[in-house]
Each structure stands twice: as structure tokens, then as C-alpha cells.
Amino acid sequence: MEAGFVASEEYYHRAGGTDSAWVLRLYRDVLGRTPGDAEVRGWTDALRRGASPGAVATGFLLSTEHLGTAIDVHYQALLGRPSDPVGRAHWVGAIQQGTRLEVVIGGIVSSAEYYGAATRSAPSTSVEASASTSPVTAPPAAKTAPASAVVTPPLHVPAPPPRTAGPPARPGANNTGVPAGTTLKVHHGDLHVTTPGAVIDAMDVRGLVYIKAQDVTISRSIIRGRPVTSSTSLINNNLGAYRFTVQDSELYAADPTPWINGITGANFTVKRSNIHNVIDQIHITGDNVTVESSWLHDNLHFTNDPQHPNGSHDDNVQVQGGRNITLTGNTMTDATNAALQITQDRAPVANLAYTKNWADNGGCTLNIAEKTRGPLQGIAITDNTFGTTTKFNCAILYPATSPIAFARNLYTDARPIKMIKR
């Protein structure tokens, strides 16, 4: 709601009627400070490149700076103290991932710290409601955040409860990608994102996206790419130099080529997105990657591939190295090589969780190799459902020397899966 007010034409004109005056007013009203010239220039450049006023306003309102101040205010008002760094970071991150502010306040007032302070300060006498006392009706319960937004709770204040709904629906055409009814603004050419915290929302990008700033969010957008003649991806972040999130979006190569992947790098999160018509949908080169509730399908495959004389080695997800990798609740099909290929080509792989996915196709659907870097560490493959359309009639090919935790992995007909040790 706040974004709608500060992005309105009325607010824009009252601020001065120019992009720079509007951005300056946002800094003063939302962040309570005067910006530097470079900060104003960064946002006005983003507007000039096609960012909508709503996206810019949302960037301010969901910024760590603004939300940190808001959390401090509630801690001071309700707990009588400033927020601690762990608590502040937790709640800021939760809001940025979709948790409502009401849930944050509810978490604070239901904490043991708040309860203890309230009972210590409460008077011992009771107060009866008089005839003139107005009854107070409790508001409806706030919606809780998605389970993915629940992270390690701060001291004293509990995390928002996860949803307790039934099993999630299998990701597909009806629950991934750009939500129906979204109006998209077309951007012709490559998009270079250089503003920290920028939100790229409701755009149709006819080019590649280069992330060059921290904490960028791409939401409700289509990334179509362009013709390329050397190896690249629809979204690049300099192999993990900059954190970013893609959610409720569609990525595909409008100009098919053996040179194009979906996303390559590290330090990124993908949620509820539809990625198809590329060689590898996700190509992981380093740490801290989460892919959840997404539809990875219809890989490109070329018999004459300049990088592979025997044909494209297309995977839904390839992991060349990295730690802290989570792949959960995805549909992963149609790759010629594997739904998940782990190679350790760049670095050791550790702390990887592959859980609650639906997967099929490939030589073996999961293909795990140590190569020259020794056993993988901290790998868990649990609660997955596998199809049977594989070249070598196996769900998982894995090295016997790696201590991998397997549990409750079944075929679609509930039979135990076939696994082959290297």
C-alpha cells in the first residue's frame, strides 16, 4: 500500500515533478536522510533504463535500511530496548521474503521476553469493564510467511510459524512463472543492474541480464535473451560476486543456441520460476544457492554442439562446486544428461540438500561424481519422487566412497528406486 502512495503521480508532482526530485523526496520520507549525489543518480538511471516507479518505491520500502529502522521502533515500543543484530537481521530478511509486518509484531508480543516484562509490570488488582467500555474484537489472523521465509529465529523472539497446509502442488504451468494478468513492460537489449537492492518487476527483457550490485530482486518478469555466439546465460552475476533473487518469473532462450544456459553463478535464490529452452537451467559454480518450487524442463539439446562433439550435455541443474546448496520442491525433467549433475569441476561440493523434488529423464536422473576432489561431504537426498524414463534404467548414479544420506526416495508407483554405485 505504501508503495502505491509514494509511486503515485500526485506524490511525484508534489515532490517536484522530476525523477531526481522524486528520488530525493523518497530518501527524506522513507529513509529519513539526505542522499548523496551518486545514490540519486543510481535510482534515476534505473528509471531511465525502464524501472517502474512502483519497483523503485518497493526497493526503498523493502531496503534493509528502512526495515531495520522499523524493526528498531517496534522493539523499543514493545520490549523497551533496541533490536539486537541477530533479531533485526532475521525480521528484516523475513519481511523481504514476504512475511507481513503484523506477523513480526505478533512474534514479538508472543515472545517470552515480552510476556515476562508484561507480567512483571502488571498491577495486582483486576479491572472490570464498565458499561461504557467498548468491546475489542480481535483482528483476523495474519497470513504466515511461506515456509521458505522462516530462518533461524533471533534471541527471545520466535520465528513466524511455517504453513501447515497439505503437500505442495507439483510445480508446473499453473503455479510457476509470471502470474496471470501481470502487465509487462518491454525492455529491448541487455539489462545491467548496478543499483544495490534494485527490484526488477513486471518486465519483459529482450536481452541478457547482468547483475552488478548486491541484493537485486527479479520478480514477475520474462527474460528471453538474444542471439549469442559464445557461452553465457540469461542471468549472470559474475560467477557469484553479487547476491540476487529470481521469483515468479520465466526464463527461456528465444534464440536457441548451444551456448545458452538459464542462470550461471553462485549466491542466488530462485523461487516459483519456469525455466526452459536452455542447455542447463541452473549452472552452479559456488556457494549459497537455493532453488525451490520451480519448473525446470524442456532443455535444449544439439547433436552438433561445438562444446561437446557427442551432443549437448544438458542438465536441469549442474553443480561444478560449492557449499550450502538447497534444491527442494522442484519439477526437473527433460534433460538428456541428468536432472542433477554434480561434477566438482571447479571446487568440492558440500552441504547440498536435494529434497522433495519430482525428477525424471537423463542417463541416470541424478549423476554424482567426485572426479579428482575426493568424497563429497554433507549430501542429503531425501523424499524425492522419480520417473522411470532414463537411458540406463537408474534413478541415481553415485560414488561409493562419498557418505551420502539417502532416504524415502521412490518411483512414481511407490517402488524403491534403482541406484548404481560407481
Q: Does the pLDDT of residue 241 top 60, yes or no?
A: yes
Nearest to 342, CA basis, from 308, 305, 380: 380
Q: What is the mean pLDDT of residues 58-78?
A: 84
For 299, the grid coordinates are: 532443455
Report the alpha-carbon distance of residue 206 to residue 223 in Å, rounded: 7
Mean pLDDT in residue range 96-115: 76
Question: How buried is residue 362: exposed, middle or buried, by Cβ count under 10 Å (0-12/13-18/19+)?
Answer: buried
User: Which range, of 69-73, 292-296, 310-314, averages the lowest pLDDT?
Assistant: 69-73
Sign of CA dihedral 326, 212, 207, 184: positive
The CATH topology of domain 185-421 is Pectate Lyase C-like (2.160.20)
pLDDT(150) > 60: no
pLDDT at position 3 is 61
314, 257 contact by CB (below 8 A): no
Identify the CA nearest to 334 among candidates 370, 359, 371, 366. Answer: 359
Given a cut of 70, whether residue 139 has pLDDT beyond it is no
Question: 380: closest CA among 400, 346, 399, 354?
Answer: 354
Helix (H, G, I), strand (E, B) or coil at 379: strand
pLDDT, averaged across the chain: 84
The pair phi, psi for residue 382, each rounded to 5°, is -140, 145
Q: Specify the range with the lowest mean pLDDT, choosing from 52-56, 69-73, 128-132, 179-183.
A: 128-132
Domain definitions of the chain by residue range: 2-61, 185-421
pLDDT band, very low/low/confident/very high, at 137 (cuts 50, 70, 90)? very low
- Per-residue pLDDT at 61: 82
What band does 247 get if pLDDT is binned at 50, 70 and 90? very high
Query: Could you give the percent of the chain with pLDDT greater than 70?
Result: 87
